[in-house]
């Protein structure tokens, strides 16, 4: 007896958000980017991207964070699918459905996450079977932190953030994220960083021994003390209230606090589940933040979830 397996009509991929535990920014390069030395950490706030065969290319966004996400060809997930189609010699239009839970323009790489998820989903749907290296190369063309969202976990990033290397990191980390109204533009934050540092001699960024040791020890207290983000003064300069949020979180007992990436989301590291709940309640009651989310890290990178999801 022969059995025929019909090709699946859709593929769904789950992808995490990220926070940078360390984000060291070098001088402005001639191509408009900055060399980085960063430690990426994937956390358990997830978007889900479903791709289905369709007569023509299309994209819809659903979920609590859908507002403000472009649904045209400028959406990074749509660009990812089309870039992969060209690379794989595929002529099969797909409809992309994004279920958004990662804050939009929040410094948590939501757009990059959707692009990474679209690559993995389309690779599966079209049966391309590209290697991880091949997917990473396409990912790097889409954005500096897209390769990390494929990989997940905790990893070092260099170059403009797209060159990944493993980090020895132990332990599970508990986070509280303070969300703001409205996003911040990443290029605007980098430009403000350059403006604030004008006339200063900015060294090439190198990973700090302090963060590497803290991650090796798995001690959340040491990781909390080692958190650093060179973009933070720029994000606070553009949004002074972020400074108040950071102060409030530390007063309420966080082990460490940092602006996530280019912001405006503020990330607090706490001792455990109970401390996360306490901090979330205190921040909400203080009225200084619009919304709070709890998550743990590290989380897996973009991965296929079983079966198509109903609407």
List residues binding ligand C5P (CB under 6 A).
32-34, 36, 143-144, 160-161, 186-187, 190
Shortest spacing between CB 72 and ligand C5P, in angstroms: 17
219 is catalytic: no
Using CA atoms, how far apart are residues 23 and 136, in angstroms rounded to an integer?
A: 21
**CB 185 to ligand C5P: min, Å:** 9
CA distance 191 to 94: 36
d(CA 117, CA 213): 32
Least spacing, CB of residue 80 vs ligand C5P, in Å: 12
Give the other-Cβ count within 10 Å of 136's Cβ: 20
> Which residues lie closer than 8 Å to 209 by C-beta, 6 or more apart?
none
Task: Give the active site residue among 18, 65, 97, 100.
Answer: 18
- Smallest gap from Cβ 137 to ligand C5P, in A, equals 14
Q: How far is the CB of 135 from ligand C5P (least distance, A)?
A: 17
Distance CA(296)–CA(175), nearest Å, equals: 6
CA gap 282, 276 in Å, rounded: 10
Active site (annotated) includes residue 145: yes
* d(C-alpha 190, C-alpha 294), whole Å: 27
Axis-axis angle for helices 76-88, 110-125 (nearest 10) = 30
Separation CA 141–CA 171 (nearest Å)? 32
Report the DSSP beta bridge partners of residue 22. 39, 228
**Residue number with CB closer to ligand C5P (174 or 239):** 239
Residues 6+ apart with CB under 8 A from 193: 25, 34, 230, 231, 233, 234
Quote the DSSP letter at residue 153. S
Of residues 12 and 75, the one with the C-beta less far from ligand C5P: 75
Task: Select 33 or 57, whichever has its Cβ closest to ligand C5P.
Answer: 33
Among residues 154 and 262, whose Cβ is nearest to ligand C5P?
262
Give whichever of 175 and 190 is closer to ligand C5P, judged by the CB atom: 190
Tell the smallest beta-carbon distance from residue 42 to ligand C5P (Å).
16
Q: For residue 156, which phi and psi values (nearest 5 degrees)?
A: -80, 140
Strands 94-99 and 173-179: unpaired
Closer to ligand C5P by Cβ: residue 31 or 55: 31
Query: Are 116 and 143 a contacting pair, CB within 8 Å?
Result: no
- Of the candidates 47, 114, 123, 145, the residue annotated as catalytic is 145
Kindly list the distances between the CA atom of residue 237 and the CA atoms of 106, 189, 232, 262, in Å, as whole numbers in the listed order.
Answer: 16, 9, 8, 12
- Calculate the CA 281 to chain-centre distance: 25
Taking the least distance from each CB to ligand C5P, the nearer of 207 and 218 is 207
Q: Which positions are annotated as active-site residues?
A: 18, 145
């Amino acid at each position: 007896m022969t059995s025929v397996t019909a090709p699946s009509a859709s593929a769904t991929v789950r992808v995490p958000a990220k926070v940078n535990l360390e984000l060291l920014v070098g001088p402005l390069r001639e191509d408009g980017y900055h060399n980085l030395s960063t430690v990426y950490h994937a956390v358990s706030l997830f978007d889900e991207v479903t791709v289905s065969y369709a007569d023509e290319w299309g994209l819809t966004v659903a979920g609590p964070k859908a507002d403000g996400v472009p649904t045209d060809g400028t959406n990074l997930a749509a660009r990812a699918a089309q870039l992969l189609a060209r690379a794989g010699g595929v002529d099969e239009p797909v409809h992309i459905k994004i279920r958004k839970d990662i804050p939009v323009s929040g410094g948590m790489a939501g757009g990059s996450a959707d692009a990474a998820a679209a690559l993995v989903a389309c690779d599966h749907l079209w049966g391309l079977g590209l290697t991880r290296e091949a997917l990473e190369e396409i990912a790097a063309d889409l954005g500096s932190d897209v390769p990390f969202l494929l990989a997940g976990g905790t990893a070092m990033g260099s170059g403009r953030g797209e060159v990944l290397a493993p980090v020895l990191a132990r332990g599970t980390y508990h986070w509280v994220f303070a969300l703001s109204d409205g996003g911040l533009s990443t290029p605007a934050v980098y430009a403000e960083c350059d403006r604030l540092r004008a006339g200063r001699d900015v060294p090439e960024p190198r990973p700090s021994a302090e963060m590497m040791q803290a991650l090796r020890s798995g001690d959340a207290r040491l990781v909390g003390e080692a958190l650093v983000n060179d973009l933070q003064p720029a994000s606070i300069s553009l949004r002074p209230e972020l400074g108040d949020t950071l102060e409030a979180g530390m007063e309420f007992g966080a082990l460490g606090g940092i602006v996530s990436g280019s912001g405006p989301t503020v990330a607090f590291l706490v001792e455990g589940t109970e401390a996360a709940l306490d901090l979330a309640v205190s921040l909400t009651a203080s009225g200084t933040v619009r919304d709070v989310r709890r998550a743990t890290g590290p989380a897996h990178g973009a991965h296929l979830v079983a079966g198509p999801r109903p609407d």
